[in-house]
């Protein structure tokens, strides 16, 4: 939870996580929602900022497809659930 925005190379991490998924496995990612405030300014340890759409783009690049979206209701975060898209080679 709330790791991806701290990583210098989130693409590499997402690819590694995707490779580690077993068939039917799911990847849950919770990050601050940059639509509700600049998350990098909120926490200077953040090196990336995400919206649901930008996270989907990153996930799709890694061969994942979105299954669910949940707003954290804390006003700053969201959670996306992904699974490996077996029709795509990442």
DSSP calls for 25-86 = -EEEEEEEBGGGS-HHHH-TT----B-HHHHHHHHHHTTEEEEEEEE-SSSSEEEEEEEE-T
Give the pLDDT score at 24: 81
| pLDDT, tens digit (0-9, with 9 covering 90-100), for 44-60 | 899 999 999 999 999 99
Q: What is the reported pTM?
A: 0.89
Give the pLDDT score at 11: 97
Residue 89: pLDDT band with limits 50, 70, 90: low
Check pLDDT > 90 for residue 42: no
Query: Quick one: 16 exposed, middle or buried, by C-beta within 10 A (0-12, 13-18, 19+)?
Result: exposed
pLDDT averaged over the chain? Answer: 90
């Amino acid at each position: 939870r709330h790791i991806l925005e701290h990583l210098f190379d989130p693409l590499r991490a997402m690819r590694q996580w995707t490779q580690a998924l077993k068939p039917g496995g799911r990847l849950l990612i919770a990050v601050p929602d940059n639509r509700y405030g600049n998350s990098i300014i909120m926490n200077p340890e953040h090196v990336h900022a995400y919206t649901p759409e930008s996270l989907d783009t990153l996930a799709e690049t890694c061969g994942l497809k979105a299954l669910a979206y949940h707003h954290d209701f804390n006003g700053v975060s969201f959670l996306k659930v992904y699974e490996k898209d077996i029709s795509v080679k990442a």
